Amino acid sequence: MRRLWVFLSLTVVLVAMASYAVLMLTDSTNLADIATDTNIENTENLDEVTGESQFHPFAGRDADPNSPVLILKIDNSPDARPHTGLQAADLVYVEEIEGGYNRFVAVYSSNFPREVGPVRSARISDLDLIAQFGRPAFGYSGAQSRLIPELKSAGFIDVSGLTGPAGWVRDPNRVGPYDFMARPAGLLERAAAIGEVSSAKDIGLKFGETPMVGGWSVTDVEVKYPATRIGFEWDSIENGWVVLLDGEPDVDTYTKKPVVASSVVIPIVQQSSSGFTDKWGGVTPKQETIGEGAALVLRDGKAMWARWSRQSAQEGIRITKDGQDVALAPGQIWFVLTNRATRVLANPPHSGAAPVARQLGSQTS
């Protein structure tokens, strides 16, 4: 099985080997580019639906765009699996936390399952991501004491376990602390009693039914964090990417089926120490999602290099190729935040595996 290893570094180098291709990516201000056929724009017949009132701006499909926004912080440690209600999320952001593990920021608006979890504590990187949604309801289990003042000053409606028990239950089939589950209906009722919860708005995502043009065909892609792996395997029957956690499908206990993403965006972002630590002294990393850089887009069984950009915390992440918006497939979208130290393994590697070394900072993609 041939593999493509993507290392985030200060240059872009593609090295062909007998069974591996190693790619050195630039820092997050540059755009990675693999070969000439990846330059084909994915903008023909964009069939943009984000601005249409009958479509939901987070999912690009029929749903009430005036429905409230609920955001939940979901654990992804091995003991937290399988997840409940994750497939119903419109957007899933993957953040690295202490020890090289990660957690999910799951955004719900077009569909609310009966139960979601396991829910765990908030992190500093959540704040910039949440700000783009206005004043959503945000549910989490708790937070370290130094972070609580920043959470209180943020613009969301706090329906966490710190503010009351309504909307939260313990799953008797799980072991604590991986048993803390959210009931969206209860949390939204609490939030509405506090104030007006923001409804879904255009955050810059573009959707289209037309298959992605450009890129190269892949069967699976895996993102390797220091302590865990998140993979995406193309399933032509599901017409989406089956989510693999440490190599195994994440079978949602709510649907009894594997979680499937319609499109996956893997942005390369700057990551640094946040100044926060967990109770064991582990350093909490902070992902900078305001800025710009390279991104790998997965759609329709293909991978394509593009560019991500975000001008402020109040805006969403925009994905472009040659200055034009990249259309994502309607459905659940995953944003897997990576950095210069993250390895990304794609199978197969790009067919144009001839050595390429170009400075791409001047590219407008």
What is the distance between the alpha carbons of residues 165 and 17, in angstroms, rounded to a whole number?
56
Sorted by sequence, the CB contacts under 8 Å of residue 277 that are 6+ apart come out as: 98, 283, 284
Cβ(183)–Cβ(117) under 8 Å? no
pLDDT in tens, 320-349: 999 999 999 999 999 999 998 889 999 987
Query: What is this structure's pTM?
Result: 0.82
Arithmetic mean of pLDDT over the chain = 81
Instruction: In the chain, count H helices and then E strands.
Output: 3, 27
- Which pLDDT does position 33 carry in this prediction? 29
Q: What percent of the chain has pLDDT over 90?
A: 62
The stretch 212-221 carries a mean pLDDT of 94
Q: Give the tokens for residue 180.
A: 């803390």
pLDDT in tens, 230-288: 999 999 999 999 999 999 999 999 889 999 999 999 999 988 675 666 666 667 788 88
Lowest mean pLDDT among 5-9, 58-62, 189-193, 309-313: 5-9
Q: What residue spans define the domains of the chain?
A: 3-50+203-347, 70-194
Lowest mean pLDDT among 57-66, 129-138, 252-261: 57-66
Q: Give the tokens for residue 185.
A: 């209906």
Cβ(183)–Cβ(195) under 8 Å? no
Instruction: Tell me the pLDDT band of 4, cut-offs 50, 70 and 90.
Output: very low
The stretch 91-117 carries a mean pLDDT of 94
What does the longest C-alpha to C-alpha distance in the chain come to? 62
Q: The CATH number of 70-194 is which of 3.30.1490.20, 3.40.50.150, 3.30.70.330, 3.50.90.10?
A: 3.50.90.10
- Which pLDDT does position 266 carry in this prediction? 97
Higher per-residue pLDDT: 84 or 146: 84
What is the distance between the alpha carbons of residues 227 and 83, in angstroms, rounded to a whole number?
19
- Which pLDDT does position 206 carry in this prediction? 95
The full DSSP string for 29-87 is TS-----GGGGS-S-TT----TT-TTB-TTTSSBS-TTSB-EEEEEE-SGGGPSPBSGG
- Which pLDDT does position 255 carry in this prediction? 86
Lowest mean pLDDT among 61-75, 105-119, 274-288, 297-311: 274-288
- Which pLDDT does position 125 carry in this prediction? 87
